[in-house]
Amino acid sequence: MLISGIIVVLAIFATNILKLPPYVYLNDAYISSTALLYIHPVTRIFEFIFGICVATYWRKQVASTQWSEPRATLYEIGVILLAVSSMHFISPLANWVGTTWAGSASSTWLTVSGSMFAFGLLIYVMAMGQGRINTWLSHPIMVLLGEISFSLYLLHQILLRYYQANITALPVLPNILSSAIFLAVLLLASYLMWALIEMPCRRLILGRGQKKIHGSDVMQQSWHSHLNINKKTMSAAVVLICLVTSIYFSMGVELDRLSPAEADAMTPNELRSSVGTRFGNSFMLRGVKIVRNKEGVDIELAWESLVQQELALNNEVYLTDEIGNNLSGGGYKQPMSKAVENKGTIWRDLVFIPADKLKGWESKLAIAVYQNDGLYLPVDRGDRDWQGNRLLIDLGDTMRIQLPQ
């Protein structure tokens, strides 16, 4: 504990001295404070060792500790409230600490790891297994959710990032339904990963000593029933395959296709100089239209595919100041069409920036296209920045509020 704690202190000290930024962009060659204090295992091992110490102390105490059920239930309620309070107050505490001599790095560490002590106590008390809440949590379904939690931890970020990267290609559903589908896919995949990877590995490690499985009676029963593939596993696999197949075939959108005449008529005279700009050998900007009203800014972009291809790249559209500093806007994935698009296909993308996101001194529209590996397509002409990888269009008077007729 002492050694791992010293490592954390040194990492915080180094982060403050080097003034590491919280985040870095894809093309930056720098390390961030988030990477060092949140992601890197060298600094997170302090929490891991703390968990080992809690478990070691619990093993020494569990046999000799006898609490009455009301007393144990009171302890369980207390540590749950402590954990919830810790999560609630750790963020403002971290913000305050960041303003002191401890520096912003200490704030970063507290934000992500500051609740470890409260959760260590929560696990210790719940592992005693003597209160009413523990009895409720010992239901086989709750135990199974606990068993698959590590698989869920491994998979959830992958699925979240896939969802975010393909959100424009997924069907538009109510939020509660989208959340339910996502949760169903995540739980089924986590269960199968536990049953088909974790459990066979445990069977291999245990060998003939399978009777020595640790844990409560419910946990031992769950393990024994999953050491070999059973009907539950097969049923879960079938349901997941059906669900994922349905999602896959529902993906893709019908492009808002335009004719060449419609694309040419889109652009007002003051923005016409940008028409015909090429992004690599893949795309041409065929039209630009910007309308500002009380609700915000509507940006219409007409694109032409210069080759036969799938639409799988990413666009960045920002409103900037005179020197190209981003003020509002963001990135979006190209619409995923249901088929490979032919050379000459023209379609329209719509980007909306709400009025509350505008700064008031936007003067240029910045457009860039990049691949999934982070490499940008070069822009062949016009006012450019980002080493020639982003087009800058002078907006002139187009940002003045145009009230609807």
Name the pairing type of β-strands 364-370 and 314-320.
Answer: antiparallel
Q: What is the dihedral of CA 78, 84, 88, 93, to 10 degrees?
A: 60
SS3 content of the chain, % helix, strand, coil (to 5): 55, 15, 30
Question: CA 297 to CA 320: how far, in whole Å?
Answer: 13
How far, rounded to the nearest angstrom, does the alpha carbon of residue 128 sit from its chain's CA centroid?
35
| Alpha carbon distances (Å) from 132 to 68, 137, 189, 204 | 10, 9, 31, 36
Alpha carbons within 13 angstroms on the beta-carbon side of residue 203 total 14
Per-residue pLDDT of 182-192, as tens digits, reads: 999 999 999 99
How far, rounded to the nearest angstrom, does the alpha carbon of residue 155 sit from its chain's CA centroid?
11
Lookup: tokens for 344:
């000459």
Question: CA 316 to CA 390: how far, in whole Å?
Answer: 9
Structural domains present in the chain: 1-137 (no CATH), 140-251 (no CATH), 260-394 (2.60.40.10)
Instruction: Collect the ranges in the chain with pLDDT lower than 70.
Output: 25-29, 168-169, 208-215, 252-253, 337-338, 398-405
Per-residue pLDDT of 204-235, as tens digits, reads: 887 765 556 666 777 777 777 777 778 889 99
In this structure, how many other beta carbons lie within 10 angstroms of the beta carbon of residue 83?
18
- Determine the pLDDT at residue 159: 93
Helix ranges, 166-193 (H): 175-193
Q: What is the dihedral of CA 47, 48, 49, 50, to 10 degrees?
A: 50
- Determine the pLDDT at residue 404: 44
